Amino acid sequence: MLCAPYLSSPAWDADQRRNIGLLPQDIRDAIEEGEKTGNFGEAYESAMMAYYDRHVCLLKPWPDSLQKAFSGLNPEVYNTMWGKSEFTITGALKDYDLTPRLGEIREPVLLTCGDRDEAGVKTVKDYQQLFPDARMAVIPNASHLHQIERPEIFAAVVGDFLQDVDGR
């Protein structure tokens, strides 16, 4: 099972650029300014949180588990792997791309995403088509954390997948 998978930095970057383009102008401006100047201060952080509220977690307030995960983030590791900017990949993962190898996975695969996910629905569909045996579910009215936001739907999708796989 791959939930809102990150399998390719170029694909992830394209999805983020598309999502940023849909934000209100003032939020886009704050992100662009931070990216251009390297100033990831208060205006950038606020814009990033507005992005997160639309594409990462729709719940208000965020669940304790998510807040705990964010508070435990190691900035040194994150910056090394991703880079200082949330939206421009400059770290070790810059050229990461598993898509050429997805066809090697012969087991059944379930891919899920939310319809408002930062992992774009079209991108996840493109991934699905690269696996020999995969299905995909788009969870409505949900974002990146669709399994937390819509647990009943997510559980039904997973249950159906496991039942089908078990019946083979």
In this predicted model, what pLDDT tens digit does every residue of 120-130 receive, in sequence order? 999 999 999 99
Q: If you average pLDDT over residues 78-90, what whole number do you get?
A: 93
Q: Are 113 and 158 in contact (CB under 8 A)?
A: no
Buried b (16+ CB within 10 A) or exposed e, 117-151: bbbbeebbeebbebbeebbbbbbeebbbbbbbbbe
State residue 168's pLDDT score.
75
- Confidence bin at 47 (pLDDT 50/70/90): very high
Residues ≥6 apart with Cβ < 8 Å to 106: 132, 133
- Confidence bin at 167 (pLDDT 50/70/90): confident
Residue 100, pLDDT > 90, answer: yes
Chain-wide mean pLDDT for the chain? 96
pTM: 0.93
- Confidence bin at 38 (pLDDT 50/70/90): very high
